[in-house]
Structure 1
């Protein structure tokens, strides 16, 4: 690694680009490492969220836990996983905590989460070890990985972020089948210990190699002003215009749009976690068998992950807000479809709607992640998105413990109908999202004015 000279370039929107340093100058290797390493780490911790439905039945049998106990564990895990995103982002922005430190702490906490449920049936200890420490660990990994890839690929943030984000879903697929096929009260401890060691090593090794670029870093082989001009000439700004200014977190909240995003994510985040948590138990209740139940969960996880990358491309063409509304409508319809297929014991339809549930329950995350800088600018994106993502604190409770309570009172039919209806409500609320400071008739004017100014610069 060598100390390279750099210069700072400012575009018409006031965004600063630090140009001149290559990834080899900064960390001694290609920046592609900062895609593959976060992707591997995200896959390693994905089993917390997407594998729980295949684990909880064995733990209930072994420890005498109820369905409600098991899914309150998942709910509290989701609360701590989401809660750590904002403070972790702020600490990293202020250079108080490095990416390497955050990942190593995340590795240890994640491993402890699985070691806890492997060796103790004490519910209080399970909440402390699995839900609190495991949630913090997975949250540190999630927040650090998403932020890392965005910093190293500022000119290709959508595609790379969607790819890494997808690992958080389909990384659990092999373990879903292992849990469904082999996990029993007789051998659960060995399998869960192996899972804990795997997360500890995979996340720890990846995290040890993490390194942030300097603030405002920009790849040396991409001219930032030409990049901005090219985006404008392709017409992308007509669908997704840039923010009118750089909003601080307080200013973003006062626009009303960040709170509206938060409410939308609370609702659909809860529906998403409900589908992830209860599809396997519902499949078993519908007499589809353990393999079909695991397969439906595997399909959900795979499509959930791959769909996150696809919607980035679609949102460039259709518009970020329009694509988000469409995804939420699909998620709502999938809830009714899964219920119908399960109640009629239609295996083919059940797998089809498992596919749609997987797509709808994951694709909205990268869309919200892209909408935040579109609406509020890039300079405070980690903090602003951390606030939006904190909606999972509330959604996690609704999609786990509260949903288990609804099922115990209304059954799966009532729970799935409720999930479909509130998902539709979330889709309707997105229709009111508007970019702060810009009226609809100004979008075309912005593009026409921006072209000559960019060319003149």
Structure 2
């Protein structure tokens, strides 16, 4: 058995032992995080992914604020800018599964995935800046930039989950939150200092910024060995303390390590996927149209920018908060609460627009931002809870691929609904879809035999294999 070299591949051996509980789960203990990371704490594998996620968030969460200028600069027809974002979302989400498959087979290390993502993101912003035709921008920013951001996103989320298997909700939420509120400075930049006279320089500099931050973080990225468990914390079923915040009682560990195929055949992964499609579609719709709706009903540019900025901040902070909360309440209960809040926010936006209340509009933008981002870390943490950690890069890639479908109806098809039914009809449909998603979330449960009584300390003998 081996440690990891600096590039994430096997290196020098370390002493450890594998503990097998009464239900067949294996925990590799003995190696500290500092031994595996060359003297550094595993906290670094929270802060570095967080910084990288803040850098790439500009591609999605600030794009809505740049749409008008881009349309005028490139002479696009109405709706073209929305399709660019839809294609970006499609490829940003779609790359997660093949990237996870390549990572788990050792073809693509975490560091190489990040370097590649940084370079492709730069190319995406360069295309958005210098290619005027909508098809060219779709290929450059939508496809190439989307793949780049997706590589960074998927690698960061899986990284933190592997290094913190005992309490992944709070850490995953914190890292995931950076993807949203990292875009805040650029939202105001695009609303106040971005026009047809300077858009080339602004977009080029943003691309360089993303390259530097992501590549700098990537240099230190390393995966832990499979089944790794921190040696100073008792694994579940092995003297666990049910009263602790990190207790598995609310979030029982997976019954076993499911392969991606087994996860699909269990029926739970397809149900999770459908729930992601519906919920993420509503979220993408809000990101794409909130600024335009604010302008449509007569709110000034400050309110429009502030509503999107508020959505971005609350979206990110909400991800952190619900990650921590789900460790206490349970992943499923927190998820249902978040999706219902997202649906109510869509109806609230209609009400605020109808009565022309800027205060209510900002309040429901707050609620929409919270619900529209908080579900992502919940699904990211729930996936290894249900199916185990060993194949999580691939399994979560399948789950997250639901966003590629939602990007199409949340952005491009959303613009068609707005044209046909108006903003009120589109927002009402989005609210209804969110409530349907909440109903699907109520049906989720861990596959296999995992129950609350299974997560108390197991009295049966525990086998240890020292290597």
Q: What interval of TM-score do these two structures reach, taking the shorter chain for normalisation? A: over 0.9
Aligned equivalent of 2:339, options 315, 324, 328: 328
1:229 aligns with 2:239: yes
Instruction: Report the Cα offset of residue 222 of structure 1.
Output: 3.0
Give 3-state SS (helix, strand or coil) of 1:154's partner.
coil
Query: Which of 70-79 and 8-17 deviates more?
Result: 8-17
The alpha-carbon distance between structure 1 residues 159 and 93, as it changes in their structure 2 partners (threshold 3 A), is same
User: 1:317, CA displacement in angstroms?
Assistant: 3.0
Q: Which residue of 2 aligns with 1:117?
A: 128
Instruction: Tell me the residue number matched to 2:459.
Output: 452
Q: Which moved more, 1:46-55 or 1:363-372?
A: 363-372
Match of 2:205 in 1: 194
Query: What's the RMSD between the two structures over aligned residues?
Result: 2.1
Aligned to 1:427: 438
Partner of 1:216: 227
The more displaced of 380-389 and 53-62 is 380-389
Map 1:6-21; keep pairs closer than 5 Å: 6-12=15-21, 13-21=23-31
Match of 2:322 in 1: 311
Residue 157 of structure 1 and its aligned partner are, at CA, apart by 1.8
Distance 1:86 1:447 in 2: 30
**Mean CA deviation greater in 175-184 or 309-318:** 309-318
The equivalent of 1:27 in structure 2 is 37
Cross-structure match for 1:344: 355
Q: As a proportion of its length, which structure holds more helix? A: 1
- Which stretch shifts more, 12-21 or 400-409? 12-21
Matches within 5 A, 1:98-117: 98-117=109-128
Q: CA deviation at 1:65?
A: 1.1
The CA distance in 1 between the partners of 2:291 and 2:67, in whole Å, is 10
Query: For 2:421, which of 404, 410, 414 is the aligned residue?
Result: 410
Deviations 1:382-432 (A, max 9, x none): 222111111011101011100011111111111101000111111111122
Q: 5+ residue gaps in structure 1?
A: none
Aligned CA distance change for structure 1 residues 158 and 172 (closer, same or farther; 3 Å): same
Q: Distance in 2 between matches of 1:72 and 1:356?
A: 26
SS in 1 for 2:239: helix
Matches within 5 A, 1:76-155: 76-155=87-166
Using the TM superposition, name which of 125-134 and 142-151 deviates more.
Answer: 142-151
Deviation at 1:203, TM superposition (A): 0.9
2:3 matched residue in structure 1: none
Residue 239 of structure 1: aligned partner: 250
Q: Which moved more, 1:301-310 or 1:239-248?
A: 239-248
How many angstroms apart in 2 are the aligned matches of 1:274 and 1:307? 18
Residue 169 (str. 1) matches residue 180 (str. 2): yes
TM-score w.r.t. length of structure 1 = 0.94
Residue 217 (structure 2) aligns with: 206
Is 89-98 or 162-171 further displaced after alignment? 89-98
Q: 1:183 aligns with which of 179, 194, 218?
A: 194
Contact persistence 1:225–1:454 (CA under 8 A):
no
Number of residue pairs matched by the alignment? 452
- Give the deviation of 1:456 after TM superposition: 11
SS for the counterpart of 2:79 is helix
1:229 partner SS: coil
Residues 330-389 of structure 1, C-alpha deviations (whole Å, 9 max, x = no match): 000000101211222101101110110011011111111222222222222222211111
* Alpha-carbon distance, 1:234 to partner: 4.4
Q: Given that residues 4 and 25 in structure 1 are in contact (C-alpha distance below 8 angstroms), is that contact kept between their aligned partners in structure 2?
A: no
Cα distance in 2, alignment partners of residues 146 and 437 from structure 1: 25
Contact kept in structure 2, 1:22 and 1:220, CA below 8 Å: yes
- The 2-side partners of 1:78 and 1:59 are apart by 18
Q: Residue 219 of structure 1 aligns to a residue in which SS?
A: coil
